[in-house]
Amino acid sequence: MTERIQKVLARAGLGSRREVERWIREGRVTVNNRPAELGQQIDPSCQVAVDGRSVALASTPSAPARILLYHKPVGQICSRDDPQGRPTVFDSLPRLRGRRWVSVGRLDINTSGLLVFTTDGELAHRLMHPSTGIEREYRCRVRGNPGERELKRLLTGVTLGGQLCRFELVEAGRGSGANRWFRVVLREGRNREVRRMWQSVGSTVSRLIRVRYGPFQLERQHHTGESIELSESQSAKLLQSAGGAQASARVQKSGRKRPGTRHRR
């Protein structure tokens, strides 16, 4: 059976589908010693290489996906490498052999909170895709004095870069005057979307924390810089919200249950 090359390499844990597509456009991927093309169909008999290094294509399903919940601190970036030498979230994750952690979305350097990682790039693509409608919840401390009119605009939708962006929920929390806390929920993960939305109504976010991704909350006992590996039952709970039984099957193991595991570097 043949499959698209970017899907095969992403599922193998080499990177997200978006990363693999970029590698193909840059000419870094070859199939049978010829430059690969986006959407090219391949099978396990093909000789695939990335940056000249051969990639083994399994003829049987790859190892089940692993999923981590990571509490990102302020000051870390979500790229693997940084020319400026800043710390990255990947420095704090448990080491893998033959696979890589792929981030499900990103948080900017000044945002803390919950990040999801998986070893399956195709699964990461599914979890990020807008069609899944997975909720992201944030706590934000806002400078300014947004009133009922501004909050209604954020719920109705504001246009950013030609795209309509809206919160599913805006709920005022503690604080008053120039600095107030709000709880907001949205179903997309565009670049700096929460900050830009508040800016569009004349307010500035001074602190931003993601506290929920889909069914998983950032618990109080989940310390900054700590990652928690989900058990199979926990993973299935997340995946059911992103594709039902087909997605859930990606983490199933025959007859063996893995408990949630904490990792701290």
Whether 262 shows a pLDDT value over 90: the answer reads no
Torsion from C-alpha of 15, 19, 22, 27, nearest 10 degrees: -20
Render pLDDT for 146-165 as a digit per residue (tens, 0 to 9). Answer: 899 999 999 999 999 889 99
Do both 141 and 193 map to the same domain?
yes
Do both 171 and 140 map to the same domain?
yes
Please give the model's pTM, rounded to 2 decimal places: 0.76
Do both 77 and 32 map to the same domain?
no
Do both 182 and 151 map to the same domain?
yes
Asked which of 190, 213, 236 is the last residue of a domain, the reply is 213
φ, ψ at 236 (rounded to 5°): -60, -35
The mean of the pLDDT values for the chain is 84
Do both 191 and 74 map to the same domain?
no
Do both 23 and 71 map to the same domain?
no
C-alpha pair distances (Å), 14 with each of 93, 155, 246: 16, 38, 21
CA end-to-end distance (rounded Å), the chain: 41
Do both 72 and 109 map to the same domain?
yes
For residue 35, list its beta bridge partners: 30
| Catalytic residue list contains 81 | no
Distance CA 222, CA 108 (A): 20
Do both 149 and 252 map to the same domain?
no
Do both 202 and 152 map to the same domain?
yes
- Binned at pLDDT 50, 70 and 90, residue 16 comes out as confident
Do both 139 and 207 map to the same domain?
yes
Do both 118 and 238 map to the same domain?
yes
pLDDT at 27: 92
- 64: region left, alpha or beta (phi > 0 left; psi from -120 to 50 alpha): beta
Q: Which domain holds residue 189?
A: 135-213
7 burial class (0-12, 13-18, 19+ CB within 10 angstroms)?
middle
Contact predicate 145/35, CB 8 Å? no
The CATH number of whichever domain residue 13 belongs to comes to 3.10.290.10
Contact predicate 111/105, CB 8 Å? no
In a domain, 60, yes or no: no
Render pLDDT for 188-228 as a digit per residue (tens, 0 to 9). Answer: 878 899 999 999 999 999 999 999 998 888 998 999 999 99
H-helix or E-strand containing 49?
Answer: strand 48-50
43, 82, 91, 108: the catalytic one is 108
More confident residue, 13 or 54: 54
What's the total number of domains in the chain? 3
The CATH number of whichever domain residue 99 belongs to comes to 3.30.2350.10
